Amino acid sequence: MNPSTPTPTDLGLHPWNRGFTWEQPAGPYRVLTGAQAERFDRDGFVVLPDAFGPDVLGPVVAEVDRFEAEVEAALRGIDGERVAIAEAGAITFATHLVTRSEVLRDFASHPVFAGLCADLIGPDANLYWDQAVYKKPEKPRRFPWHQDNGYAFVEPQQYLTCWVALTDATLANGCPQVARGRHRRGTLRHRYVDPLGWECFSEPDDVAVAEVGAGGIVVFSSLTPHLTGPNTTGAVRKAYILQYAPAGAEILGGDPDGGAEPTRTPADDPARQFPVVRGGAPVHP
């Protein structure tokens, strides 16, 4: 199916998605091979297995485990054990960890991420967002089909999500699944599905299952519709998600259906949205 053709359940384009054209930097590439870059351009994602060995991943997992335990304990201590889509025993989100850990701040500027930014964003890129997402086995729950730019509308619409597997990510425990090719339309309209989160469509065709071992990365565009399925195993599935945006990116706010022009907030908080690549060169922490 042509990715520009809506599916029967498609909600259409986001109202702020005006005149979008998909673009990808040309090589030479630093981290990706030419074939991987071509796949990213075509499908909207690529899997990089074994990007980090135990020497790099071990300290990262230890740090993230510590922060996630605080989130789980906080959820257990409130009525209903839930805040928005986070729920004790089901799924937790630990955000902005680079502001609390030098280990994770250094990891976010690792040469692998700097190279991916240069390959897929361009010569100037900042960290935009970081969060750990742990899927628990007590309450299996899927995550709906969504684009990352459907949660908070960023302009330019194209930024990069690096989904780092801290444990092996399989179909059984909730690895990412990707709707191929639909990134080329730009940001889609989303609707909120309680208690799962924002959804842009259901049951697309041409779905890829992105299983990856611990230390690997699923790299996809902010415009790539994806989900993670329920964790039906007996162990926690752990992921640390790092997102990178072009320098100068802005977060749009307001009512997309209200007719007024959106507000614009620069994504340049120095505590967590710091430079990673400048002039095509890595910026070391």
Q: Tell me what pLDDT residue 8 has.
A: 39
Domains in the chain, CATH or no CATH each: 43-254+262-267 (2.60.120.620)
Q: Tell me what pLDDT residue 248 has.
A: 97
Residue 241 to residue 64: CA distance in whole angstroms = 11
| Cα dihedral across residues 36, 5, 225, 144: positive or negative | negative
pLDDT tens, residue order, the chain (285 aa)? 344 444 435 668 999 999 999 999 998 999 999 999 999 999 999 999 999 999 999 999 999 999 999 999 999 999 989 888 888 988 999 999 999 999 999 999 999 999 999 999 999 999 999 999 999 988 777 778 999 999 899 999 999 999 999 999 999 999 999 999 999 999 999 987 776 677 888 888 889 999 999 999 999 999 999 999 899 999 999 999 999 999 999 999 999 988 889 999 999 999 999 999 999 999 975
Q: Helices (H) and strands (E) in the chain — how many of each?
A: 4, 18
Q: Tell me what pLDDT residue 285 has.
A: 58
Q: Are 241 and 97 in contact (CB under 8 A)?
A: no
Cβ neighbour number for residue 96 with a 10 Å cutoff: 15
Q: Tell me what pLDDT residue 9 has.
A: 58
Q: Tell me what pLDDT residue 130 has.
A: 98
Amino acid at 108: A
